């Protein structure tokens, strides 16, 4: 990213400041890293590419507060080793399209010390993360985000701030982890049901969940057997999961 105003905007939207602990994923050449340092935050920068990590160390060598550079792949990182579980962390990152959604969902599932996220992702991925029932892009990622966090799109980033200029639009997504999951249900049962139904999202629930839930069980959970997966909110899925678990 080449535009200084954009990186400062991202740092501002992240809402971090002195004594906050920030982890930047995919720090690259450090333009966003330096903007985060300007806020006074303590930054841990993750970069998987060895030559880039070496350049990054030089770029942030005189940073105040000091920046910790970790050369590692965020997809397989031992996060408890890098991020103190007793501290609260904020992720700020420009995430590539191919890893953005699975990485964010893994962090929500597995790294509770990360309390907030401000990430730049491809527009379609961002819209999917915060979509609600009835949206064409509402699906498993939307429900996983809703289970763990509140989320919203907080900005758009035009292609012309990048060098080279990409062919896709980007958005900024803010997530804030809930103190507890949004619904009370066995998460394994809950998301197994959700994944099963969305694999056949065009079918009615009575067909998509055939062999998993009867019409009577759907109705007992307050769901219409004729509804489709994309019409059911998280509370509805949780009601069905509880009825099947009980």
Q: Supply the CATH number for residue 196's domain.
A: 1.10.8.100
pLDDT exceeds cutoff 90 at 246: no
Residue finishing a domain among 177, 204, 219: 177
Please classify residue 6 by burial: count the beta carbons closer than 10 Å to its beta carbon, then call 0-12 exposed, 13-18 middle and 19+ buried. Answer: buried
In a domain, 140, yes or no: yes
Q: What average pLDDT does the chain have?
A: 95
In a domain, 233, yes or no: yes
Helices 31-38 and 50-59 meet at what angle, rounded to 10? 40
Q: What is the pLDDT of residues 100-150, one digit of tens each?
A: 999 999 999 999 999 999 999 999 999 999 999 999 999 999 999 999 999
In a domain, 196, yes or no: yes
b/e code 109-141 from CB counts within 10 Å (16+ = b)? eebebbbbbbbbbbeebbbbbbbebeeebbbbb
In a domain, 182, yes or no: no
Query: Same structural domain for residues 71 and 157?
Result: yes
Q: Work out the average pLDDT over 194-222.
A: 96
pLDDT exceeds cutoff 60 at 84: yes
Q: Where in the sequence is the domain holding 210, given as residue range(s)? A: 187-245
In a domain, 210, yes or no: yes
Query: Same structural domain for residues 27 and 102?
Result: yes
Residue finishing a domain among 146, 177, 208: 177
pLDDT (0 to 100) of residue 174: 98
Residue 1 pLDDT grade (very low, low, confident, very high; cuts 50, 70, 90): low
pLDDT (0 to 100) of residue 167: 74
């Amino acid at each position: 990213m080449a535009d200084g105003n954009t990186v400062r905007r991202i740092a501002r939207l992240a809402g971090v400041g002195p004594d906050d602990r920030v982890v930047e994923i995919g720090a690259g050449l450090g333009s966003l890293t330096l903007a985060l340092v300007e806020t006074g935050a303590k930054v841990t920068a993750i970069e998987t590419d060895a030559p880039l990590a070496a350049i990054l160390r030089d770029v942030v060598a005189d940073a105040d507060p000091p920046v910790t550079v970790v050369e590692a792949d965020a997809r397989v990182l031992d996060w408890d080793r890098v991020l103190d579980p007793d501290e609260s962390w904020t992720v700020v990152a420009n995430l590539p399209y191919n890893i953005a959604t699975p990485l964010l969902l893994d962090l929500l599932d597995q790294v509770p010390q990360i309390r907030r996220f401000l990430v730049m992702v491809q527009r379609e991925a961002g819209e999917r993360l915060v979509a609600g029932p009835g949206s064409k892009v509402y699906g498993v990622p939307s429900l996983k985000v809703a289970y763990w966090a509140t989320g919203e799109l907080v900005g758009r980033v035009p292609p012309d701030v990048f060098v080279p200029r990409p062919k896709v639009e980007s958005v900024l997504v803010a997530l804030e982890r809930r103190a507890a999951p949004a619904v009370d249900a066995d998460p394994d049962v809950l998301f197994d049901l959700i994944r099963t139904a969305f694999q056949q999202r065009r079918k009615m629930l009575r067909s998509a969940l055939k062999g998993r839930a009867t019409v009577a069980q759907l109705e007992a959970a307050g769901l219409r057997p004729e509804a489709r997966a994309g019409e059911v909110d998280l509370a509805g899925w949780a009601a069905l999961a509880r009825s099947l678990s009980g």
